[in-house]
Amino acid sequence: MEYDIGREDKRDAARAALDALAVDRERLATAATAPAVWYYVSSAAAVAAIVASPATGSAFWVTMIAALMAIVLSYIEPAHRKQTGLTIRRTAGPRSTTVITVVGILFVAGFGASVALASTGLVEWIVASTGTAFLATLLGLRWYDRVYGQELRVGF
């Protein structure tokens, strides 16, 4: 039986290349997650401000607060990219898409609850929908980062 020494070298090279890819995926997954707590807290605070805005009782102020917080939210992600130096032009996988969809639904539900509470004169209860939206966003974004990182690690 003949043994091809070059074959073993090719296997070693392939194994080394796969190991290098695994290390790169790990680095990418680590860098893609939020760099600090500020990212989660500022996003959650902006969402909470939008959810709390119906307590003002003025459509003008609801619109102004929502617009201002939308601007704030639009600057948070670029600040994250600037801090990490990383831009990923890849859509989320199915699990992370599900997580961020649930967070978005909770945001809309919280805002809807605040509007309903304000319309019925139960303004003091808007604190509950605001707190829920804040926590859902804070924990949801952290959960999203973990799931997204896992998807990057496995090369989804």
- The whole model's pTM is what? 0.76
pLDDT digits (tens, 9 = 90+) for 16-60: 777 777 777 677 666 666 667 788 899 999 999 999 999 999 999
φ, ψ of residue 6 to 5 degrees: the values are -65, -30
d(CA 35, CA 94): 23
> What is the average pLDDT score of the chain?
84
Q: Write the pLDDT tens digit of every residue in 116-139.
A: 999 999 999 999 999 999 999 999
Nearest 5°: CA angle at 86, between 85 and 89?
Answer: 150
> pLDDT tens digits, residue range 60-119?
999 999 999 999 988 887 877 777 666 666 666 889 889 989 999 999 999 999 999 999
